[in-house]
Amino acid sequence: MNCPYCEKEMKKGIISGDGRSRVYWKSGEKRTNFKDKLGGTGILKAVKYSLAVFEIEAYYCPKCKKMIFDTEVS
Ligand SMILES: [Zn+2]
Spatial distance between the Cα atoms of 49 and 57, rounded to a whole number of angstroms: 12
User: What mean pLDDT comes out for the span 11-26?
Assistant: 92
Distance 60 CA to ligand 1 centre (A): 8
User: What mean pLDDT comes out for the span 23-41?
Assistant: 92
Distance 10 CA to ligand 1 centre (A): 7
pLDDT of 55-71, one tens digit each?
999 999 999 999 999 99
Asked whether residue 21 carries a pLDDT value surpassing 90, the answer given is no
Distance 25 CA to ligand 1 centre (A): 23
Asked whether residue 11 carries a pLDDT value surpassing 90, the answer given is yes
Asked whether residue 42 carries a pLDDT value surpassing 90, the answer given is yes
Q: Distance of alpha carbon 46 from its chain centroid, rounded?
A: 7
Asked whether residue 74 carries a pLDDT value surpassing 90, the answer given is no
